[in-house]
Amino acid sequence: MVEKQMYLLLTNTGSFLTKLIKLYTKKPYNHASISCDSQLSEVYSFGRKTVRNPFIGGFVREDVKAGLFKQADCAIYSITVTEEQIQKMNYFLKELEAQKKDYRYNLLGLFGVMFNIPIKRKNAFFCSQFVAFLLNQSNIIDFDKPLSLITPHDLQSVSKFQFIYEGKLKDYYSENKAELPVHFVSVRRFSL
List, for residues 8-29, the tens digit of each pLDDT value.
999 999 887 788 888 888 999 9
**Residue 24 falls within a domain, yes or no?**
yes
What are residue 162's phi and psi, to 5 degrees? -110, 130
- Which structural domain range is residue 177 located in? 3-184
Per-residue model confidence (pLDDT) at position 190:
35
CB 18 within 8 A of CB 25: no
End-to-end CA distance of the chain: 26
Per-residue model confidence (pLDDT) at position 48:
83
What is the C-alpha radius of gyration for the chain, rounded to an integer number of angstroms?
A: 16
Per-residue model confidence (pLDDT) at position 174:
52
CB 179 within 8 A of CB 74: no
Per-residue model confidence (pLDDT) at position 14:
85
Per-residue model confidence (pLDDT) at position 169:
94
- Which residues of the chain register pLDDT less than 50? 175-176, 178-192
| Residue length of the chain | 192
107-138, pLDDT tens digit by residue? 999 999 999 999 989 999 999 999 999 999 99
Per-residue model confidence (pLDDT) at position 2:
76
**CATH code of 76's domain:** 3.90.1720.10
CB 112 within 8 A of CB 148: yes
CA distances from 115 to 58, 119, 124, 125, 127 (A): 23, 10, 18, 17, 18
**Residue 189 falls within a domain, yes or no?**
no
Total of domains in the chain: 1
Sequence-distant (≥ 6) Cβ neighbours of residue 95 within 8 angstroms: none
CB 8 within 8 A of CB 79: yes
**Residue 192 falls within a domain, yes or no?**
no
Which pTM was predicted? Answer: 0.87
Per-residue model confidence (pLDDT) at position 189:
36
What is the rounded distance in angstroms from the CA atom of residue 30 to the CA atom of residue 172? 19
